[in-house]
A and B are shown apart, each in its own frame.
Chain A
Amino acid sequence: MSELSDLYQEVILDHNRSPRNFKKLEDADRKADGYNPLCGDQITVYVKLENGVIGEVSFQGSGCAISKASASMMTASLKGKTVEEADAMFDRVHKMLTGGSSPAVDAEELGKLAALSGVSNFPARVKCATLSWHTLRSALKGERVASTE
């Protein structure tokens, strides 16, 4: 049961129940749709950029607790980051999700996002946790659609 409680930590269940920034950004200047064809999860990520810095970021869509919590935590951690910083953050999160880093370093470098580290014990769920990040990357690149496949 311990791997399960690592996966479904209280902070993740909380973001699932009450996702942050769960809305459409009417004045977004970047927007992309993301799909996970394996399970039908779909998400839209909205970004408002101000001089290369992420001003506001939000999302909408449907998915499992992991994908929803990951999207919610992502939006909560991106405000004020440059496009390059956001990109680097995704690489860092991906490393954590695929078991390529240690929990102590995750906590130090990723802060609250480290709550998702339990995903690394569930390879089938990595795509759930990365869907919002893939979609964000597409939005920042000016692409309209992202897919985990």
Chain B
Amino acid sequence: MKALHEIKPAAANATPLDVERIRRDFPILRQRVHGKPLVYLDNAATAQKPQAVIDAIQRYYSEENSNIHRGVHTLSEKATEAYEGARSKVKEFLGASSARETIFVRGSTEGINLVAQSYGRAFLREGDEIVISAMEHHSNIVPWQMLCGQVGARLRVVPINHDGEMLIDEYARLLGPKTRFVSVAHVSNALGTVNPVKQIVEMAHAHNAPVLVDGAQAAPHMKVDVRELGCDFYVFSGHKLYGPTGIGVLYGREGLLEAMPPYQGGGDMISLVTFEKTHYNSLPYKFEAGTPHIAGGIGLGAAIDYINGVGIDRVAAYEQELLAYATRSLLAIDRLRIIGTAREKASVLSFVLDGVHAHDIGTILDREGVAIRAGHHCAMPVMQRFGVPATARASFACYNNREEIDTLVRAIGKVSEVFK
């Protein structure tokens, strides 16, 4: 039987995305910055929130606020229902088999740390190898380095080519009997590269190594189906998906999560506590110690409803078109070079201007109302790979339009005027 989410996109694709209507859903987009209309192109850092998400959070605090999973009173029941309802939405959104496989965390970073510390410390030993790629965000490097230091494992890094694509042959060479874990980005935050995750997973599984996919930059831009990808763990952050900050999701295969020890101890993650022994709660609560970010979970649920309403496949198609338009427009600018030219890309355009540091670009663009990110994008090894100290990065969401790209191009023109 086909799940609902597999049927929906075909219908959604029939009509193109109405970007002007979508823009009206995001109140922040109405504001002016330095007297100019805000052009928000820093979506890879965090996305803006639709009114529906803001309303859901406000409604929770003004009408339902209460602690979950323990109160017998009406408000607690309402809050629990809303929070667990959000979990079910996440489960559908990711195509997970069960809501027990979707754990609420603070964000992608915490999800990766949870797996590194829980799975990693329980199952990795001295001499084991963990494979990551050269395009990872610091959050998919440092937790594994910490684990390596704790258990004596070794970090192996798959190199990337000059377009910013992972070298699959090199990856194949790195995989072997010592490989005990693979962790890769679905989409690179600094380059926009979409990795061939399904293939990466199949190759790792041939060596019995589980795979974590960092979906922070993918989940807002394309249909994610964890069973289709075949991955063992998948993480994403709510705030990049039009939801609130401080909430994210770790998906894990039930069998693996069952075998893993808890990450943190506390309330809600136990079923029975005595001073002699504690019995842990069942999934997903075993990994959710303490009062969670209830409003965040509910807000994320509202964000998923919003995306489902627009249609994620329609978002993906629209953003691809916008990225192609932006790429063409920027390539026409003198002295500009795009960093990250993979065949498969999503919503990220990193660039450098000869003789101008990214920070200066960022400041001048800001005065034109254009918000971009300038810096190393928490991916310093990527910057080293391309021999640049920093890049300017424009990143897109479903509410961006062609006029905003034109404004970006004009603003870069101002940079060239200042730095003649």
A interface residue numbers (CB < 8 A to B):
1, 3-5, 7-8, 13, 38-42, 62-66, 68, 122, 124-125, 128
CB-CB < 8 A to A63: which residues of B?
357, 359, 389
- What are 15 of the A-B contact pairs (CB < 8 Å)? A1-B367, A4-B363, A7-B363, A13-B419, A39-B376, A40-B376, A40-B383, A40-B389, A40-B390, A41-B359, A41-B389, A63-B359, A65-B357, A68-B357, A125-B359
Compute how far the CA of A119 lies from the CA of B418 in the bound complex, rounded to whole angstroms.
Answer: 16
Chain A residues near B419: list those with CB within 8 A: 8, 13, 65
Most buried by A among B356, B360, B375: B360
The 3 closest A-B pairs by CB, nearest first: A64-B359, A64-B357, A40-B376
Contact indicator B390/A8 (Cβ below 8 Å): no
Q: Please, which residues of chain A bring their CB within 8 A of the CB of B389?
A: 40-42, 62-63
CA distance A38 to B356 in the complex (A): 18
- Per-residue A-contact encoding for B349-363, CB less than 8 Å = 1, 0 else: 000000011111001
Using CB atoms, name the residue of chain B closest to A63.
Answer: B357
Measured CB to CB, the closest approach of chain B to A62, in angstroms, equals 5
In the bound assembly, the distance between CA atoms of A3 and B368 in angstroms comes to 12
Residues of B within 8 A of A13 (CB): 418-419
Asked if B363 and A39 sit within 8 Å, CB to CB, the answer is no
A64 touches B360 (CB 8 A): yes
Q: How far is the CB of B361 from chain A (nearest CB, A)?
A: 9
The reply on B380 being an interface residue by CB < 8 A is: yes
Chain B residues lying within 8 Å of A5, measured Cβ to Cβ, are 418
Which residues of chain A have C-beta atoms less than 8 A from B380's C-beta?
Answer: 40
Contact B364 A40 (CB under 8 A): no
**Contact of B374 with A by CB under 8 A:** yes
Task: Please give the distance in Å from B190's CB to the nearest CB on chain A.
Answer: 12
Partner of A39, one of B364, B367, B375: B375
Q: Across the interface, which residues of A come within 8 angstroms of B376, CB to CB?
A: 39-40
Q: How far is the CA of A89 from the CA of B357 in the complex (A)?
A: 27
- Residues of chain A within 8 A (CB-CB) of B364 are 4
CA distance A135 to B367 in the complex (A): 30
- Nearest CB to that of B377 among chain A residues? A40
Q: 8 Å CB contacts to A: which residues of B381-420?
A: 383, 389-390, 418-419
For residue A128, give the distance in angstroms from its CB to the closest CB of chain B: 7
A-side contacts of B367, CB under 8 Å: 1, 3-4
Whether B360 pairs with A66 at a CB distance below 8 angstroms is: yes
Smallest CB separation, B379 vs chain A (Å) = 10
Give the Cβ gap from B389 to chain A, nearest Cβ, in Å.
Answer: 5
What chain B residues lie within 8 Å of A40 (beta carbons)?
375-376, 380, 383, 389-390
CA distance A68 to B383 in the complex (A): 19
Contact B390 A125 (CB under 8 A): no
CB distance from B33 to the nearest CB of A (A): 13
Across the interface, which residues of B come within 8 angstroms of A4, CB to CB?
A: 363-364, 367, 418
**Residue among B356, B358, B363, B375 with most chain A CB within 10 A:** B363
Q: Which among A8, A38, A68 has the highest number of chain B CB atoms within 10 Å?
A: A8
Tell me whether A122 and B359 are in contact in the complex, defined as CB-CB below 8 angstroms, given that A40-B376, A41-B389, A62-B389 are known contacts: no
- Report the separation of the CA atoms of residues A68 and B356 in the bound assembly, to the nearest whole angstrom: 11
Check B390 against A65 for contact (C-beta < 8 Å).
Answer: no
B383 cross-chain contacts in A, Cβ below 8 A:
40
Residue of B nearest to A8 (CB): B418
> Judging by beta carbons under 8 Å apart, are B363 and A125 in contact?
yes
